[in-house]
Amino acid sequence: MSTQEIEIKVPQLGESISEAFIGEWYVKQGSYVAADGKIVGLETDKATFDIPAPVGGVVSRIVKNVGETAAIGEVIGFLTPAEKPAASPAPASTPATSAPTTAATAPAKAGAAAGGGHVMPAAERMMADNKLAAGSVQGSGPGGRVLKEDVIRTVQSASAPAPVRVGGIRETRKVPLTPIRQTIAKRLVEAQQTAALLTTFNEVDMSAIKKLRESYKDVFEKKYGAKLGFMSFFVRAVVSGLQQFPQLNAQMHGRELTYFNYCDIGIAIGGGKGLVVPILRNAENMSFADIELAIIELAGRAKNNQISLEELEGGTFTITNGGVYGSLLSTPIVNPPQSGVLGMHGIFDRPVAVNGEVVIRPMMYLALTYDHRVVDGREAVSFLKLVKDLIEDPTRLILEV
């Protein structure tokens, strides 16, 4: 090993974590990375982590490949400190006597794409069949990857019409489950097998909240630097519900029930590597602005895989919002050992009966899944009805009545 090389090691990720899964090398071997730039993404059974470059340099060697596991402290690669390479000079004009490389004369090379992205195998073969030059196809996939559809589009957009030879490619690929996906699968099956899960539904008229947000969104954003969303209303409503129906905030451990005098609310957020559920600690003490700012900050870090393990641990109740993806109705699954989860859904204009007349209102379905071993149906239905009433009359949340 060169004395200049710096070891890239798996850092300490938590007391109970002994190894990590190599999720993605952001920098290929032989490529340059700036100081603090992401080198490699690691995954555990609870969270994802990125290792930044301590200095600018070239990833000289990769020891552990994607899909392999490495112990805490184990070396997975090496970084050689170096200055950022200067930009390549523009190529000299081509002499008139030389034959230029065109899409019709040069076959594609593996891994070469117009944007520097990787060429997928199906796209590579199609480029070769259609005699497309390496780098002549702009990739539209993640990280600039060239897909088969990109090759078809390039051929079809050529000045001279040419048949696209699609062929009969039939591919399969096997990808090992990441630790997070393994844990999700294990816990979901565990919840179904060990808890007596039941779901109750209701619907809520979102007119009042939409009107309130429209009236105060500008002054709220000006004062707090954040938009007034729906989630803060639901968090506050859930906290009120948990305080009145503490069974939803309890957990079964063996032959005992543990009741919590605080509300640690898990908020399901779509992250860069999948769904994560960071916790709003002591949500009962948080204001609307506190909740909105915390969720914005957590969502930003989740997107960049920067949620810490401590922020995912614990939680007494969970809220998940499938409505952001267009869900009309679903049955969420409890995150054990919790006893309840509230599922929010999409807001859609629907005809409803109000005072004997049919009117159009923005409606949302709510779903509460609960552990029937801990929570009786009466408490569950009453909890969800209270959440509905508070959302439909949000001044009660402000007055705490």
State yes or no: is 253 an active-site residue: no
Task: Report which residue type is found at 265.
Answer: I
> Which of 253, 345, 376, 393 is flagged as catalytic?
376
Fill in the DSSP letter of residue 185. H
Distance (Å, whole) CA 44 – CA 23:
9
Task: Report which residue type is found at 85.
Answer: P
Distance (Å, whole) CA 286 – CA 283:
5
CB 283 within 8 A of CB 265: yes
Query: What burial letters (b/e) apply to 375-385, b meaning 16+ CB within 10 Å?
Result: beeebbbebbe
CB 307 within 8 A of CB 273: no
Q: At a CB cut-off of 8 Å and minimum separation 6, what does 290 contact?
A: none
Q: At a CB cut-off of 8 Å and minimum separation 6, what does 256 contact?
A: none
Instruction: Count Cβ atoms below 10 Å from residue 92 Cβ, excluding itself.
Output: 6
Comparing CA positions, the residue from 88, 86, 90, 132 lying closest to residue 113 is 132
Q: At a CB cut-off of 8 Å and minimum separation 6, what does 369 contact?
A: 197, 198, 199, 331, 332, 333, 334, 340, 341, 343
Sheet harboring 6-9: ordered strands across? 6-9, 75-81, 57-62, 32-33
Helix and strand totals (H; E) in the chain? 8, 19
Helix H or strand E encompassing 191:
helix 179-194
Q: What share of the chain is helix, strand, coil (3-state, %, to 5)?
A: 30, 25, 45
| Residue 397 buriedness (CB in 10 A; 0-12 / 13-18 / 19+) | buried
> Which of 118, 264, 372, 393 is flagged as catalytic?
372
Task: State the SS3 of 116-156.
Answer: CCCECHHHHHHHHHCCCCCCCCCCCCHHHCECHHHHHHHHH
State yes or no: is 376 an active-site residue: yes
The residues that are catalytic are 372, 376
